[in-house]
Chains A and B, each alone.
Chain A
Amino acid sequence: MGKRDVQICFRFGSGTPDMERHRSSGARTPLNSALVQRRSRSKSYRLSYRSCLGAASRLGLTPALTARRLNTSRRAPKSHNISEKVSVEQLALLLKKEWKLSYVTPLYRFRHTQMRGYSRQLSAFIAAEKHQGLAVDVEAAQGSFRASFSVIQGMTETDDDAETILIQIHSKSSFPGQDEPQRALWSGWLTCVYGNPEYLNSLPKDFTCLPLFCSSGSEVLTNAVKSWFQLTFDCCFGPLEISHTSLQWLVALWTNCHAECNIQHLKMIWSVPVVPPLQITYTVDGQDAWELWNSLRRDPQEEGEGGKDEEAGSNIDIMEVERFMQGLKGHFYRHFRLDLSAGSLKQVSTALGLAKCNGRMKISNSKYMIATLTLLTECALLKMPM
């Protein structure tokens, strides 16, 4: 038996939900597995036999590592006119593409001033990988691929964040000079947005922390780029999944934007652990989702003192997120007698973007990308081994 897909799409206010349901029996027992998330504990000190480990002490001592879990409160995304800071052409390269996410350990001796040298080296490296057993001149790289490094200025939010790096690989064989601009065969970028300042400051100055790596293109080229980075900057790449909790955060963060920018719809894909596996697509109209969200948001504001209203409004608490999810699940349960707590959230999408639990994401609207990237940077930093 293959997978069963259930697609459900409805509006809250419209009375009977428009739904198709194939089968939903067998999913009676809500398991709490959905909330299982590995919480890594860690230490807040460092001791060593020798001073050589004293180096690490700087890292170990940061409380950043003791609180190794997602922030429980984050600022509500505000419409960011990012195009004022970042060039529109570069921004366009980041949007509307599905990116595969990875985390990267800090880069050793990476210099933002060496982009041309890196481009040359990477081109030569790819050529050498492609033609096994053929030496390649780094200075005058031949081969059919041309890699180019560039700095995307302005993506940083704090002084500690390193500037974002964009890597593109073009094919040389295609004929330039055509009307349409040459399309990149592969592209990827390394970024750090609102990285934990304590962690970033604890790194010695020869290390550059760009923990989030997004790539799009053929796997072979991704691997080549990763190998080159590993060899050149002594760093490591690992897959970055988007956890259930992070996806819930995105649900809330994106819904919260609806007041300023129409999110069209809130689409969630849940997978419920029954045999055979059941996948449920749950789509809510943007306005309805926002209304639900807004009704939940009101409480803390009323509780809070008058002067703090504004501040309370700009911060979102994990409790609110959980209440919101509870509301969405409760609504679903009333209609279908199926408790989604038993399952886990696999994918979230709105008009602002898309995020999948297997570590793929797409940003469709640059105005709110900073909030998404902040969350993802945080996830990537959580994966750091030290």
Chain B
Amino acid sequence: MAANQSASGSSDSESPSLFDSSSQPAPNSRSFNRSVRVAEKERRKNEAEDPFVLALKFFSDVEAGTPAFGNDNLERNLVLVERVAYSKGLSPEAISVMLEFAMSLRMGTSPCVRVLKCLVPASVVPQEAVVRAMVWLGVCKIPASTQVLFIKWVLTIFDMIDAKDQLRAIYGFIFSFVTEEYLCPFVCHLLYLLTRKESVRHFRVQKLLELQSKLGRQPFLLHLLSLYKVFCPEYVTLSIPSRMKSGFRNHNSPWKSALIAVQRRNGSQIASSASLPSTIKDKTSSRKRKHYHLELPVLCSQVNKQAQTEPSLGRKLVPLVQLSSFTQLLDHMHRIELPAQMGSLLGSSLALQYLDCVQDEFALLRLNFWLGYALHEEFLFCGDGRASNSEEALQFLDKLLSTQHFLQESFSSTEVFLYKFLSVWDGSLLRPQILSLLSNIPVVPSSQIGRLLFEPLMQLFFTSSLFFKCGLIECLNSMLLKWLVWHSVYALEDDLDISLNSHTSVNMTLSGFKDSVMELVHFVGRLASVGLQLEGGHSLLLSFILDFYETVCDTFLKYGLPLIVMFPPGVFFPALLSPDPVSVDRLAYIMYRYKVNLTSAKNQEKGTEQAFHINRQTFREFNHYLVVMVSCLWNSRMFHSGMGVELGEELLLKSNVPQYSKSFDLVHHPAFLSYAVDFHHKCWPERKDLDLDSIKQSKPWSWYLEYLHNQGYDGLKQIVPAP
């Protein structure tokens, strides 16, 4: 007791300086450790009298055979080391010395356990020390419980060992301990952590199987074997029952609290828990599933290895299952082995990253077969009405969608499926998902687009609710956007003559692409015209339609596609006469963008030879719309001849609307009437009677336009700039 106190008293003052360096978060690199050690050596010269250093010196120099019982020297030094270990942790050097002392049994077995229990590393553990200790394990007569304790210690600090290459080099030596029954569970765990593909040998598999027949179904054997199966499924096969899926137990109890305390004090970031890397994927749900075809296959390594062409390469391949981080993926990029079932990639973002990077034709075909199979079975081949709105189907499609978004492209099997599915779809089953999938499909050649897309979609559109109509227009807008983005990206690449031609579509020329886009725009024009009539110009539908035309009007400037398509009158007039000011304003904005695009195209046409030719009809249409719009909103000349909307004179008189030609100008337009009234009140607060015509005088008119602009109606301002 006395010795204990005196020792602690002296050590407290000195030791902090010795361990300053290691108390910083130490990166797990050996060069750094070496420099730390050099620094320590220098310090040691200065602080030769440090009792802790002396204690370590005692343990490294003590002669074999020195009795431990009643040895005060030993007791004093050990207490000193323990105190440092539990408060700040031991330096790599100290770990080496103490481990060597304990495992060599220089003072017999009695201090051994005590030393092992206090081996709390401050930063890292030198690999050499662990390897040496392993060797002692084979040489000395260490009691079984102490051997177990040692392996448990190695498992606990496994992630803190500075390198593992030498440990892997003695894999076979470590393996030999599996025959010791008491050590076997822990050795298996250690082997599990060390196993690389090279370490899996048939004789080892046989040894483990032999043990299994002796010991029965032991989880530790099974987990190690399952890892062997990952690497070499040609040697061993097994299926793990669900109750055994938890992995290896943690054996860090003797050190856990001390380690956590030391790490917290040192602010260390090193993870110490040698937990099982999750190679054994727990299935998403153990309950019995109805839809087996919708279940993603579990990621597991290829069994069919004999068929591989290069056996020498086969050894070095890394199964995708073994990778758990993006860095690892990058490290092994050149020798990754694809999983047995490509469908399993859908569940792993890491695998998708790989898939996106390697353009493996076979891999994609395999994935497409699986995906197409699942989609067909679920939605097309289900004669007995199984294609219910099931949760599984929903999740599956969501997963597929997120994958496609991640890869930014559609799978060809999805596409094939959609073309078939559209003709049997009721338009409501999983609508958001199906429409999203649809919006992802790549450019369809104009010769096929009608049969594959338009026919089924037209039927659905005209027989479905307003919300479906809106959804479909939105979907087609997003489809068009994706096509245009695709065009602008790859058109650029072609200009730069990057040899990425393989990345572009197989046989799509620019004119082919333009035809497809034009078909699509015309198709939406037809849908929109009739849809607006059917729904009485519903402003929600109109809004989606205008969204679409906001994309269309900018194809030239924004996406570099030499194509400008105007909207049909069936869209223009409902928008112009809409009772909703936002629609009218957006129409004006779209007209403005058309103008900018057309002007720019025309300038280019004059300037260069290779510019594209715009149909005169397009200009004519645009001019016509512009004239109608301006004369209707600004010039109060509605219903004049040649305006597109022509009504008989007597019919207009019959309507009893005074000054009918004014009724759709910016003051009297139903969409803006409330603004006109409000403006009137603000402009002439004292006036009792409402005379909206007075707004049309030149000064109030410009104020009124300014007022509308301040309300956020920019489009109107852009189409006719204030005088």
Contacts and interface: CB of A to CB of B under 8 A. Distances in A.
Contact of B419 (A42, A135, A234): A42
Most buried by A among B342, B359, B416, B420: B416
A121 B508 CA distance: 46
A136 interface: yes
B448 A48 contact: no
Given A47-B442, A57-B506, A385-B417, A231 B340 contact: yes
Given A48-B505, A231-B340, A234-B370, A133 B217 contact: yes
B458 interface: no
A178 to B, nearest CB: 29
B365 interface: yes
A41 B237 contact: no
Nearest to A231: B340
A48 B448 CA distance: 15
A40 B307 contact: no
B285 interface: no
A110 to B, nearest CB: 8
B506 A385 contact: no
Contacts of B618: none
Nearest to A117: B306
A317 interface: no
A239 B382 CA distance: 10
B479 interface: no
Given A49-B442, A135-B236, A56 B412 contact: yes
Given A48-B442, A55-B364, A137-B206, A105 B238 contact: no
Contact of A50 (B225, B293, B359, B365): B359
Interface residues of B, number: 81
Nearest to B221: A135
A232 to B, nearest CB: 5
Contact of A234 (B225, B341, B412): B341
A204 B362 contact: yes
A46 interface: yes
B579 interface: no
Interface string A43-81: 111111111111111011000000000000000000000
Contacts of B435: none
Interface stretch (A122-130, A166-174, A189-197): A122-130
Given A56-B412, A108-B366, A234 B239 contact: no
Contact of B293 (A108, A110, A128, A236): A236
Contacts of B444: 47
B307 A386 contact: no
B416 A42 contact: yes
Contact of B208 (A55, A135, A236): A135
B347 interface: no
B34 to A, nearest CB: 43
A137 B364 contact: no
B234 A38 contact: no
B709 to A, nearest CB: 42
A135 B341 contact: no
B409 A50 contact: yes
Interface string A84-113: 000000000000000000000110111100
Contact of A47 (B306, B383, B411, B445): B445
Contact of B412 (A60, A121, A138): A60
A245 interface: no
A264 B364 CA distance: 51
A125 B236 CA distance: 9
A354 B377 CA distance: 26
Contact of B502 (A46, A51, A236): A51
Contacts of B383: 241
B409 A53 contact: yes
A235 interface: yes
B212 to A, nearest CB: 6
Interface string B347-383: 0000000000001111011101111111111001101
A383 interface: yes
A125 to B, nearest CB: 5
A330 B352 CA distance: 59
B649 to A, nearest CB: 53
A109 B307 contact: yes
Contacts of B340: 231-232, 234
A238 interface: yes
B300 interface: yes
Given A43-B452, A135-B225, A50 B503 contact: yes
A230 interface: yes
B440 to A, nearest CB: 10
Tell me the dominant secondary structure on chain B's binding face. Answer: helix
Contacts of A234: 340-343, 366, 369-370
Nearest to A226: B292
Contacts of A51: 359, 502-503
B293 A385 contact: no
A56 B368 CA distance: 8
Given A48-B412, A138-B235, A38 B424 contact: yes
A134 interface: yes
Contact of A236 (B217, B369, B417): B369
Nearest to B489: A49
A206 interface: yes
Given A46-B412, A128-B239, A236 B370 contact: yes
Given A114-B306, A231-B300, A137 B236 contact: yes
A295 interface: no
Interface string A163-184: 0000000000000000000000
Contact of A54 (B202, B222, B502): B502
Interface in A202-243: 204, 206-207, 230-236, 238-239, 241
A43 B453 CA distance: 11
Interface string A301-338: 00000000000000000000000000000000000000
A121 B303 contact: yes
Interface string B204-233: 011011001000010001100110010001
B110 to A, nearest CB: 40
B610 interface: no
A14 interface: no
Contacts of A41: 419-420, 423, 451-452
Interface in B558-617: none
A318 to B, nearest CB: 22
B237 A121 contact: yes
B341 A54 contact: no
B297 A133 contact: no
Nearest to A56: B412
Interface in B378-419: 380-381, 383, 408-413, 415-417, 419
A38 B381 CA distance: 9
B237 A136 contact: yes
Interface string B278-302: 0000000000000001000100100
Contacts of A235: 369
A386 to B, nearest CB: 5
B380 A38 contact: yes
B97 to A, nearest CB: 41
Interface string B485-528: 01000000000000000111111100000000000000000000
Most buried by B among A134, A136, A241: A134
Nearest to A127: B237
A253 B368 CA distance: 35
B237 A124 contact: yes
A47 B507 contact: yes
B307 A45 contact: no
A47 B444 CA distance: 7
A47 B293 contact: no
A292 to B, nearest CB: 31
Given A134-B222, A231-B300, 6 more contacts: A41-B452, A46-B506, A53-B411, A54-B361, A230-B297, A386-B372
11 contacts: A38-B424, A40-B420, A42-B420, A43-B416, A46-B412, A49-B503, A52-B359, A109-B307, A133-B244, A236-B370, A385-B371
The 3 A-B residue pairs whose C-beta atoms are closest, nearest first, are: A385-B372, A55-B361, A56-B412
